[in-house]
């Protein structure tokens, strides 16, 4: 399957470390979203990732692994997204983890199915900020510079503005999208229903909805149509 990231408007992010009923998963997979991303910043294991993949595979929706831990690299996804956390203070999350994984799997990798994401962590209180020791005290000029680096130095197909757990500044999001030519801007954070989805989808290329799936499924499902308005 050839996945066209550049055409996605909406994706759900499901966390293997959180419980989701079969009924809820069916609604997510049949919702009309462009992709289901499997990922989380803590508690992701090989076993809970395999389990979630197998459950999503009952449906036709594209299923993508956003790799967050070397122990949880599971073959069989349609695509693998590899975060490079540009504002991590600990370089392990910029090149270290990736180096270790490629040392182990590099010879058997099908690179056609691997894409990098230039991650910019915007919420200093999020789990991912703690894990990567991110410097989230950024000015707009800092964020612009990271986005340009992701596109022109690292050649990432995706810049991911990660506000995980809070709704971000849409004016900044719009400004960053305006700087990018080939690279897609993914926005994630605090989209809890159709109103915020509409707003974020007008600012970014692609919106990602995570926590709302677990807190209010019906509101989360309503973000799919809103993202296309």
Ligand X SMILES: O=P(O)(O)OC[C@@H](O)CO
Ligand Y SMILES: CC(C)=CCC/C(C)=C/CC/C(C)=C/CC/C(C)=C/CC/C(C)=C/CC/C(C)=C/CC/C(C)=C/COP(=O)(O)OP(=O)(O)O
Which stretches of the chain bind ligand Y, using CB under 6 A? 15, 39-42, 66-70, 73, 75, 80, 82-83, 85, 93, 97-98, 101-102, 105, 108-109, 114, 119, 126-128, 131-132, 162, 164-165, 210-211
Q: Is 165 annotated as a binding residue?
A: yes
Share of the chain residues as helix, strand and coil, in percent rounded to the nearest 5: 45, 20, 40
List the one residue from 13, 177, 184, 205 that touches ligand X (CB under 6 A).
13
CA distance 1 to 16: 23
Chain positions 190 to 209 lying near ligand X, rule: CB under 6 A, are 190-191, 208-209
Q: Is 160 annotated as a binding residue?
A: yes
Closer of 20 and 127 to ligand Y (Cβ): 127
CA distance 150 to 219: 32
Nearest distance from C-beta of residue 63 to ligand X, angstroms: 16
Query: Which alpha helices (H) appear in 22-95, and where do they start and end?
Result: 22-29, 46-56
Chain positions 153 to 192 lying near ligand X, rule: CB under 6 A, are 162, 164-165, 188-191
Q: Other C-beta atoms within 10 Å of 92: how many? A: 16
CA distance 92 to 188: 23
6 backbone dihedrals φ, ψ, rounded to 5°: -70, -10
By the criterion CB under 5 A, which residues form the site for Mg ion?
Answer: 210-211
The annotation places the binding site at: 13, 15, 41, 160-165, 190, 210-211
């Amino acid at each position: 399957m050839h996945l066209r990231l550049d055409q996605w408007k909406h994706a759900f992010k499901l966390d293997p470390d959180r419980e989701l009923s079969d009924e809820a998963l069916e609604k997510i997979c049949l919702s009309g979203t462009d992709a289901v991303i499997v990922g989380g910043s803590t508690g992701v294991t090989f076993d809970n990732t395999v389990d979630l993949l197998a459950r999503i595979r009952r449906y036709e929706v594209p299923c993508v692994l956003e790799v967050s831990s070397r122990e949880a690299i599971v073959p069989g996804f349609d695509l693998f997204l590899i975060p490079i956390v540009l504002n991590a203070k600990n370089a392990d999350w910029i090149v270290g983890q990736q180096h270790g994984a490629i040392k182990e799997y590099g010879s058997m990798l099908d690179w056609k199915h691997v894409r990098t994401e230039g991650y910019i962590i915007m919420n200093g209180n999020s789990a991912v900020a703690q894990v990567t020791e991110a410097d989230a005290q950024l000015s707009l000029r800092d964020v612009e510079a990271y986005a340009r680096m992701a596109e022109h130095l690292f050649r990432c197909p995706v810049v991911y503005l990660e506000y995980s757990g809070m709704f971000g500044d849409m004016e900044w999001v719009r400004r960053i999208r305006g700087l990018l030519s080939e690279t897609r801007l993914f926005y994630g954070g605090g989209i809890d229903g159709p109103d915020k989805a509409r707003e974020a989808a007008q600012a970014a290329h692609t919106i990602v909805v995570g926590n709302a799936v677990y807190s209010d499924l019906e509101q989360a499902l309503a973000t799919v149509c809103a993202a296309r308005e």
